[in-house]
Amino acid sequence: MPSTAHAPDAGWTDPECPVARTLDLVGDRWSLLVVRDAMDGARSFTEFQRRTGIARNILTDRLRRLTAHGVLARRTAVSGRRQEYVLTDAGRDLFPVVLTLRQWGERHAFAPGEARSALVDRDGVPVPGLVPTGADGAVVDADSTRVRKAG
């Protein structure tokens, strides 16, 4: 599948770092909440605004940016009357990112016993914790990996 990569840009925070570049594209609060809601079925401007509480001008900007960077696509709704936003392949590829943020939040952002939403599969079963593994199946973490710089 072709990527939605962008040419080098003097505006990148750290041009050779995939984490920094990703944050430049989708790392602000509102962008990820729009992506989260698109994953949960939101399609219209009104739905995104209602779910997030985001100001109209900020939502307009985030939808424009996410569309320009290939995370969302605009299409005509089934009714034929309005435009809707849908995740692209690149947008769907953010699912593990959103899942990992959710699971980190479940462990670290709530007091014990505090009410919170839950992500469940089609059968209503809670989604298990995401654990990254290497090619050999062993768990990988910050202590067992390193960054190899470009060049």
* Cβ–Cβ under 8 Å, residues 116 and 122: no
Length of the chain as a residue count? 151
Q: How far apart are CA 13 and CA 11, in angstroms?
A: 6
Q: Is residue 138 part of a domain?
A: no
CATH number at residue 61: 1.10.10.10
Indicate the burial class of 45 (C-beta count within 10 angstroms; 0-12, 13-18, 19 or more). Answer: middle
* Structural domain boundaries, residue 62: 18-95
Q: Is residue 120 part of a domain?
A: no
pLDDT digits (tens, 9 = 90+) for 91-142: 999 999 999 999 999 999 999 999 999 999 999 999 999 999 999 999 999 9
- pLDDT band at residue 151, thresholds of 50, 70 and 90? confident
Q: How far apart are CA 132 and CA 113, in angstroms?
A: 27
> How much is the pLDDT for 85?
98
72 DSSP β-pair partners: 87
Write down the pTM of the prediction: 0.85
Q: What's the number of CA atoms in the CB half-sphere (13 Å) around residue 33? A: 14
**Total structural domains in the chain?**
1
> How much is the pLDDT for 105?
95
- pLDDT band at residue 72, thresholds of 50, 70 and 90? very high
Average pLDDT over residues 14-33: 92
Phi/psi for 72 (5° steps) reads -120, 155
